[in-house]
Copies of this chain bind each other. A is one copy, B any other.
Amino acid sequence: MLRMSALFLRTLREDPVDAEVASHKLLVRAGYIRRAAPGIYTWLPLGLRVLAKVEAVVREEMAAIGGQEVHFPALLPREPYEATNRWTEYGPNIFRLKDRRENDYLLAPTHEEMFTLLVKDMYSSYKDLPLTLFQIQTKYRDEARPRAGLIRGREFVMKDAYSFDVDDDGLAASYEQQRKAYERIFTRLGLEYVIVAATSGAMGGSRSEEFLTPTPIGEDTFVRSPGGYTANVEAVVTPVPEAVPFEDAPAAHVEDTPDTPTIETLVALANERFARPDRPWTAADTLKNVVVALRHPDGERELLVVGLPGDREVDPKRLEAAVAPAEVEVATDEDLARRPELVKGYIGPAVLGPNAPKAADGSSTGIRYLLDPRVVPGTRWITGANEEGKHVFDLVAGRDFTADGTIEAAEVREGDPAPDGSGPLELARGIEIGHIFALGRKYAESLGLKVLDKDGKAVTVTMGSYGIGVSRVVAALAEANHDDDGLVWPAHVAPAHVHIVATGKDAAVFEEAEKLARYLDHRGVEVLYDDRPKVSPGVKFADAELLGVPVLVVVGKGLANGTVEVRHRAGGEARHVIVEHAGETVAGIVKELLAEG
């Protein structure tokens, strides 16, 4: 039993200044967590109880699919991460340090390398596989922008699991098994989820899916179609239109377009001076060339130009995903000054990538140029003529210009067609609570993990990796379960099942409340008992709303009539229950709530 008189807890009436989302505000105000440094939190007693319950569900479901629990260090030597190039690829996103002997270490953001080496160290035959290992462990990422409390932290708790199979079918089965376990975990936690196609990022591998819990405050945007297509917006593949015949297209012609550095001004001028006979020009007829700078993991900085229809913006997150592990930086005036062929507002393909004038020795001087997949051969564009105040019209892709490739960097819009033809896309936001990767042989190859197959031949093992942000799930649960007054925990993850409030100064009230608390405690019901003697009923009720324990019992005035008040934190009428039956009634309510979960 937790007694409020002794519980290490101070609720706050004010939101923390750095908090923007409800889960962050409420978890701090209700005394579940406390900030220790940016993106680094301390778990207070109530928060730790919730975390432990989430962990228990994850652990049970991992064990149920034969996952074996291990525990790796967080502090790891550089060498394994060097072998897979992740030491470099992670760039500034990992915490690095040196020990007293000047050896390089990192605080692990994820453990693919170590699991691979461990299995290599211990196993050698196909008979040892399949194998699934997991851990629930503290992870580190030096996030550029830690935010939203536990949602994007720098020290956090993850469940990471790894599967090891001898062949592709095995990996597919292991992946599917984890996928199903994840569905059970989030269902048991009462957390709504969507499974979406995802990019693999720094992890690598052939296939990956994210589990997102839909919420407007989510950092991730995802799409879904009526036909069932779902994907993180970063992973949406633009349907490529068919090439357009261009035999009859007029030759490209440069026109004076003074004072048209933006798409709007350009379209207006084009319609005024160079009106099309069939329809007005629109932004979709223009080819916008956006200059960005990439910072590669080795520190090198490179300019990149993205060409895309003028009616679409570059989506920073899609761009980032497309160029990872490089990071995207703003192209500065200095960058442009260094490349005088880039005329701000009038940049066109003629000076970019393969179209750029060659150097005297024939080598390319072009800035890398990547096109939106919609810019297929035969499409005709108004675009920059690389001269102040001039644009080129009827510039035909594939005839007048080419690029170094395509890039998925344009924003995805509500109503865009799903890549699989399953209808128009709808956009929504969510928090990533799980991510599963069919890694394939990337890590096993880099680190030499092979086993002997049935014929005694050494074959490279194929792997999957499967993560759940355990501490982030606590925030996601808080985000999904609160109202204006505070948290509203589902029973199976709540820090207690029943919150008993004793009100007034009458000794009989405290005696009766104590008796009820003991009765329930004895029956295995987790009780938070507000036994504070000199605290007003108003404060006690406000605290109860804020803390969010699912069942509230008020022992107070009603006692004069022989009743206590029982109600659900989630809402609904209060019931007046005869005090003699209160224990049994409340235990029954809790049992029901737990059965639902």
Hey, which bits of chain A sit against chain B, CB under 8 A?
Answer: 6-10, 31, 34, 36-37, 40-45, 48, 51, 66, 68-77, 92, 95-97, 99-100, 105, 107, 114, 118, 121-123, 131, 133, 138, 140, 142, 144, 154-155
Contact = CB atoms under 8 A, between A and B. Distances in A.
Contact of A95 (B73, B75, B76): B75
A131 B75 contact: no
B122 A37 contact: no
Given A6-B68, A42-B71, 8 more contacts: A8-B122, A36-B76, A36-B114, A37-B76, A95-B99, A97-B97, A97-B107, A100-B144
A10 B40 contact: no
A452 to B, nearest CB: 15
Contact of A131 (B8, B40, B144, B155): B8
Nearest to A6: B66
A7 B45 contact: no
A70 B45 contact: yes
A383 B68 CA distance: 67
A121 B10 CA distance: 9
7 contacts: A8-B68, A42-B114, A44-B70, A48-B70, A73-B155, A92-B100, A97-B97
A45 B133 CA distance: 9
Contacts of A10: 122-123
Q: 8 tightest CB-CB pairs across the interface, nearest first?
A: A97-B97, A43-B71, A10-B122, A92-B100, A37-B77, A40-B73, A8-B68, A45-B68
Contacts of A36: 72-73, 76-77, 114
A74 B142 contact: no
A8 B133 contact: yes
A73 B37 contact: yes
A74 B138 contact: yes
A530 to B, nearest CB: 16
A96 B97 contact: yes
B118 A42 contact: yes
A253 B48 CA distance: 73
Contacts of A95: 75, 97, 99, 105
Contacts of A48: 69-71
Most buried by B among A75, A95, A96, A144: A75
Most buried by B among A8, A123, A131, A140: A8
Nearest to A130: B6
Nearest to A66: B6
A40 B155 CA distance: 19
Contacts of A42: 70-73, 114, 118
A526 to B, nearest CB: 14
A271 to B, nearest CB: 48
A69 B495 CA distance: 13
Contacts of A71: 42-43, 48, 51
Contacts of A100: 92, 142, 144
Given A75-B40, A95-B97, A142-B100, A70 B114 contact: no
A31 B121 CA distance: 11
Contacts of A7: 68
A334 B98 CA distance: 29
A36 B155 CA distance: 21
Contacts of A133: 8
Nearest to A140: B75
A101 to B, nearest CB: 9
Contacts of A99: 95, 142, 154
Contact of A45 (B69, B74, B144, B155): B69
A75 B37 contact: yes
Nearest to A132: B8
A74 B72 contact: no
Most buried by B among A31, A72, A121, A144: A72
Contacts of A122: 8-10, 31
A142 to B, nearest CB: 5
